[in-house]
Structure 1
Amino acid sequence: MPTTSTHPTGSPQPLTVDAPAALPRLLPGPRRELTDWRPEDPVFWEAGGARTARRNLLWSVLAEHVGFSVWSLWSVLVLFLGPEYGIDPAGKFLLTALPTALGAFLRVPYARAVAVFGGRTWTVVSALLLLIPAVTTAFVLEPGTPYGTLLLTACLAGVGGGNFASSMANVNALYPQRLKGWALGVNAGGGNLGVPAVQLAGLAVLATVGAGHPRVLVLLYVPLIVAAAVCAALRMDDLRLPRPPGQLRTLLAWRHTWLVSLLYIGTFGSFIGFSFAFGQVLQVQFADTFTTPLSAAYLTFLGPLLGSLVRPVGGRLADRFGGARVTLATFAAMAGGALLALGASRAHSLPLFVTAFTALFVLSGLGNGSTYKMIPTLCHAAAPPGQDSEARTSALIGFAGAVGAFGGVLVNIAFRQSFLSVGNGDAAYVAFLAAYAVCAGVTWTAYVRPRRSA
């Protein structure tokens, strides 16, 4: 029997439960495009929307996962660069910082590309672009290669960092408001798992063929890249988003754009920065214990693995208790973790040091999920009556993701300067402590503090 549902614009729309109109409509031919997408309509959602969204989420996670692995590749490859490469620890920190920087820069255009080309099309394209850094790295990585060439090659791996923004923008548009925290957390967490995955793969290569064969690790990812692109082409759908004129100008003038981006520097910047730097920090700060790349590799994957797994938990907690409250608690705990890392460094206690950084990884993962939940909530609240908030949400996801990823660059620079200046990471831990205190203060002041009624 016909019923009436409410479209996101607020206008009544006729809907027949058993009719094909209740399901997502696809254009005929090889190009799959969703032309009728109403996730906030419960009848539409139960009649087929949820199933379509889950299918797209699954293959989006796969492509993003491979992208994160390529983005993180040099955090593992630096462990293979022995004395024959002639690169000091400061030079290795720069090799891990450059991919972070390019990945951050690409997140804004990647998020916009979803609106222009559609989620399926851009997932295929962005996956195939990963072949450029993979093939190039496999070709040039050998002793005697000029350091400048290695820097340029490492920078190319940054294309893997852009995949996150386009994937998140696409998944955000597919899910209703009540499930965005969970869906974004699952998507981001599955992608973040690419970091410990490549580190575990590096550990396996080191343990089997040895540090003299870094190309083996790179070449392992070529078939995975192709598989991700093929699966996206066969199983995903295109969903285009409206692009209001002057959107970027409006976004840049909105105070929440900068506040949320700052918070994401503290959460995701910490996660990706520590993921890229931790192996090097262990080898430099505890050189008496970690005498070989293999010995350090046994510990590098644990923190990123746990941080990735708890990201959906952060999103789910934010769905229940509010993103701002969970984010505030996370930053307070991260300040404690940074203080513990400082104490462990001064006491030269490896168990305490690993405990502190494991806690920081877990907390940053929780904060990643809760901070990203804040984005659709803020955009939905700010949207004028009758106007869809998804376009602004997707744009802010890309922008905040870009700014937040630059936090990873700052983490690597902080470690590099600290080891150059004082010979240990103590100055960097003090900087992290101060940064988390500032982020906690901003979260409290802007989003949690009770407001006085007029």
Structure 2
Amino acid sequence: MTDTPTLAPAPPVAPPGITRRGGRWIDHWEPEDEAFWQRTGRRVARRNLVFSIFAENIAFSVWTLWSISSALLVAHYGFGFSAAQMFFLVAVPNVVGAILRIPYTFAVPRFGGRNWTVVSGLLLLVPTILLAVAVGNPGTPYWAFLLIAATAGFGGGNFASSMTNISFFYPDKSKGLALGLNAAGGNVGVALIQLGLPLIVGAGGLFGLVGASAAGVDLARAGWVWAALGVVAAVCAWFFMDNLSVSLATFREQITVVRHKHTWIVSWLYIGTFGSFIGYSSAFPLLILLQFPEVPAANFAFLGALVGSVARPFGGWLSDRIGGARVTLWNFVAMAAGTVVVIVAVDAGRWPLFLGAFLLVFVTTGIGNGSTFRMIPMIFQQQALREAGDDGDRAAALARGRTEAAAVIGLSSAVGAFGGFLIVATFGVLGLVNDGRVPTSAVATAFVIFLGFYVTCVLLTWWNYGRRGSALAGADI
């Protein structure tokens, strides 16, 4: 008899680590591989998320700089702008930011997320320095202020590239919370500018705890402060963020998403959530000033953006657990109900009711922002798998779904931002037809229009993602 040799079991293969090359590019990135994620992926993704949030926060602050600056120009600098003119100063950055979100979306797959964050941070110097220069000249005409306000749209474009970039770093199971945190960090920038700018320029605020400066208001100071912060954001991105090779895609690969109906459905829904958030955040200070002049707007203007921002990660987290479509549907119902109460409060002229109802609407905008963005990766991966069929390459289909989802995140954010412009512009147009004033009846009319839009969002969500028999019902959307 001869002994049959036995082979020792092969040692387990260690999960591959991150493969890097020059320029802070990462060539190997597999967040869906649990071993890779636990070993190295989560730590790198978290670091990129932290500095992405910081850069986006500064960008949002610059984008909504005029939501508070326009009122200070009239109140402390003697510029005789009408209510309609002030609303259009606030609206112009929104529409420019919405337009810029389209090229910003395609910039990440073309240049890399870290590289584009550096560029977008440095672009914030344009609107901030121009503001500092313009307010120092009492002869600056209104049209010049409109052009300067338009450049603040650079800050609005940043959101699309930031969200597109972060979507590649995280596995599907964590995308809702990660995107919610990234977006919330940016959204908080609106609250910070509305709370911090009056304090920095000497206008007072913080519920009366800080009084106005005896030397008067210096709005240029805000321009210089946020210009410096833009530089800090660019430097941090340069040293601490990474580019992912898996995020690279051609324009042709991304633009194909425009042929999918779900691209336009989620974009419509995002008008209702993010469009409402940025539109209401921009208009809130002026609405307080015009509808309740006895209330110090600087003490309350930041609250709406703050509660809406804080609610956004909760919307993503909740959607990760019970489904984005379900959260989105009932959130729109709550948003519509809150809007009804706002209309009642405006007609009655009751400030406490108006503030409470409006803050409720702000909360629903934040929750809806998180839930809608959680839906996008799920929708497009499910769609890619169905197109591939049972015999198709599942890995290739999932990769294509991620690329398409990243493009839709950027494009829908552009459409949603345009909704913010429409909200503010609606108040401005109603002011124009009333000789520059925005009477109570016109404000109530505007909210009735917005209410009708929310009803369409409820119906669209239910028909496409909640109704039994719909193509994606039960697909964990």
Q: Provide the TM-score with structure 2 as the length reference.
A: 0.88
1:128 and 2:122 matched: yes
Offset, 1:212: 3.2
Q: Look up the equivalent residue of 1:325 and give its one-letter code.
A: R
Q: Which residue of 24, 43, 46 maps to 2:38?
A: 46
Checking the alignment, whether the CA contact within 8 Å between 1:85 and 1:144 is kept in structure 2 is: no
Measured in 1, the distance between the counterparts of 2:105 and 2:280 equals 24
Offset, 1:250: 2.3
Residue correspondence of structure 1 range 108-127 to structure 2 within 5 A? 108-127=102-121
1:407 and 2:416 matched: no
1:189 and 2:155 matched: no
Aligned residue number for residue 275 of structure 1: 281
Aligned residue number for residue 198 of structure 1: 193
1:61 and 2:53 matched: yes
Offset, 1:430: 0.4
Structure showing greater radius of gyration is 2
Residues 97-143 of structure 1 show CA distances to partners (whole Å, capped at 9, x for unaligned) of 01000111111111111111111111111101101111111111243
Measured in 2, the distance between the counterparts of 1:284 and 1:178 equals 45
Q: Which residue of 24, 37, 43 maps to 1:32?
A: 24
Offset, 1:61: 0.5
| SS of residue in 2 equivalent to 1:310 | helix
Residue correspondence of structure 1 range 86-97 to structure 2 within 5 A? 86-97=80-91
Moved more, 205-214 or 355-364: 205-214
Residues 211 and 362 of structure 1, relative CA distance in 2, 3 Å threshold? farther
Q: Which residue of 3, 13, 16 maps to 2:14?
A: 16
Checking the alignment, whether the CA contact within 8 Å between 2:464 and 2:470 is kept in structure 1 is: no
Residues 213-234 of structure 1 show CA distances to partners (whole Å, capped at 9, x for unaligned) of 1111222112211111111111
Residues 420 and 427 of structure 1, relative CA distance in 2, 3 Å threshold? farther
Query: Identity of aligned pairs, percent?
Result: 45
Q: Which residue of 386, 402, 411 maps to 1:390?
A: 402
Aligned residue number for residue 257 of structure 2: 251
Residue correspondence of structure 1 range 302-341 to structure 2 within 5 A? 302-341=303-342
Checking the alignment, whether the CA contact within 8 Å between 1:260 and 1:375 is kept in structure 2 is: yes
Residues 248 and 173 of structure 1, relative CA distance in 2, 3 Å threshold? closer
Q: Which residue of 106, 115, 119 maps to 2:100?
A: 106
Gapped regions of structure 1 (runs ≥ 5): 4-14
Aligned residue number for residue 438 of structure 1: 456
1:219 and 2:200 matched: no
Residues 248 and 428 of structure 1, relative CA distance in 2, 3 Å threshold? same
Q: Provide the TM-score with structure 1 as the length reference.
A: 0.92
| SS of residue in 2 equivalent to 1:37 | coil
Checking the alignment, whether the CA contact within 8 Å between 2:254 and 2:403 is kept in structure 1 is: no
Measured in 2, the distance between the counterparts of 1:377 and 1:182 equals 14
Checking the alignment, whether the CA contact within 8 Å between 2:340 and 2:451 is kept in structure 1 is: yes
Measured in 1, the distance between the counterparts of 2:370 and 2:72 equals 33
Offset, 1:24: 1.5
Measured in 1, the distance between the counterparts of 2:270 and 2:313 equals 16
Residues 158-214 of structure 1 show CA distances to partners (whole Å, capped at 9, x for unaligned) of 000111111101110000000000100000001111000111112313114376311
Measured in 2, the distance between the counterparts of 1:347 and 1:146 equals 37
Moved more, 232-241 or 88-97: 232-241
Runs of 4+ in 1 over 3 A off after TM superposition: 208-212, 244-249, 418-422
Moved more, 261-270 or 231-240: 231-240
Q: Look up the equivalent residue of 1:262 and give its one-letter code.
A: W
